[in-house]
Structure formats: structure tokens, C-alpha cells
Amino acid sequence: MSGIENPLLLDFPDQFETERLILRAPRPGDGAASNAAIRESIDELRPWMPWAQTIPAVEDTEAVYRRNASEWIARTNLGLILWRKSDGLFVGGSGLHRLDWSVPCVEIGYWVRTSLAGQGYITEAVNGITAFAFEYLHAERIEIRCDARNVRSAAVAERAGYVLEARFHHHARAVDGGLRDTLVYAKFPQ
């Protein structure tokens, strides 16, 4: 098939599950739970996430999620929140970003709250999001990009079966202003 001509008319669920997680589109009211997780995780987020240089106010996080909710409807950016099924705890943030519907291709991003790191939740989420993107968005290409020094992020891509395609040398500025190399991982429909 060709690309998606009018993504506004493409129907897909705004919530789906994996073994231990519920993944759903952001809604008004999600800001407080996310803000608590950002506060807890700020030291691990700061080196890699431009939006996590200082702890945001709860209202700022809430505003981000309200904007994300509107982007979901507009099909311009598909943010996702990960909730633990067993107790409803906010696990982390992810999503399908840099959508190009003409292909379609998309990039997955992610972060985990520090107290839940090292338990495979993000790899599980990436596997679920990958299946979602192939089935519902008809993705022909899914990318994961990370700073070459971000070994924990690269390990997620590799555990999820993504193939390293390229290393872009001096591709961007890191959050500290230094030059960073970017690793590009990709996956394609079977």
C-alpha cells in the first residue's frame, strides 16, 4: 500500500496492553503522576533529555500532557504513558514521534522512572509499541535513535531486536552543549 493520505481518518486504539503494562494516550489529569516520576528520576533523565534539565512544576507537566492529547487527535505525535497493570503505578513515558505518514515511518522514544529501572518494562513497552505501529499505523520503518554514549538506551533497542544501521558522527549537540554521535537503529515489517 502507499502512504497514509489522511491520517486524521485512520482509526486506531488509544490504549493497548502488554504482559505487565497498559499503554495509553495522555489525557488531562496525567500530569501529577508523571511529575512525581520526573522528580524521582531527574538525575538519570538530565544527561539525555533536553526537557529534563530542571524539575518542572506540576502545571508544566500537565500542560505537556494536554498538548500531547491534542497531538494524538491530530495524528501529529503519538505520546504514550506506561502504567503498571498490577497497581496502576506510572512506569514511564514513551511514544511514536517524528511521524512521516507518507512512508509511514516513525521513531520510538522512552524513559523509565528510576525506581522501576532494570526490570525490563521499557523493552516490554518497545516490543508492544513496535507491534502496534506495524499493525495499526502500517509503519514501513520504525527507528530508535540515541546518543552513542547512552548505553542503557542502546541496550533497549538491541533487546527489542532493532538493527544498528548507522552512527552519525557529530550529528547533534548533547544537552551539555558538547558534540554527540547518534546511533540509528531500525526495524521493518516481517
Ligand X SMILES: CC(C)(COP(=O)(O)OP(=O)(O)OC[C@H]1O[C@@H](n2cnc3c(N)ncnc32)[C@H](O)[C@@H]1OP(=O)(O)O)[C@@H](O)C(=O)NCCC(=O)NCCS
**Which positions touch ligand X (CB under 6 A)?**
44-45, 48-49, 110-112, 117-123, 146, 150, 152-153, 156, 159
Q: Where are the alpha helices (DSSP H) in the chain?
A: 31-45, 58-74, 121-136, 151-159
Q: For cell 500542560, what's the residue?
A: 63
| Cβ atoms < 10 Å from Cβ of 1 | 6
Residue nearest to ligand X (CB): 120
**Please, what is the minimum distance in Å from the beta carbon of residue 46 to ligand X?**
9
How many CA atoms are closer than 13 Å to the CA of 80, on its beta-carbon side? 30
Pick between residue 41 and residue 137 the one whose CB is nearest to ligand X: 41
Pick between residue 62 and residue 143 the one whose CB is nearest to ligand X: 143
**Please, what is the minimum distance in Å from the beta carbon of residue 91 to ligand X?**
9
**Please, what is the minimum distance in Å from the beta carbon of residue 159 to ligand X?**
6
Pick between residue 74 and residue 179 the one whose CB is nearest to ligand X: 179
**Please, what is the minimum distance in Å from the beta carbon of residue 150 to ligand X?**
5
> CA separation (Å) from 92 to 9, 15, 46, 125, 173?
29, 15, 15, 10, 25
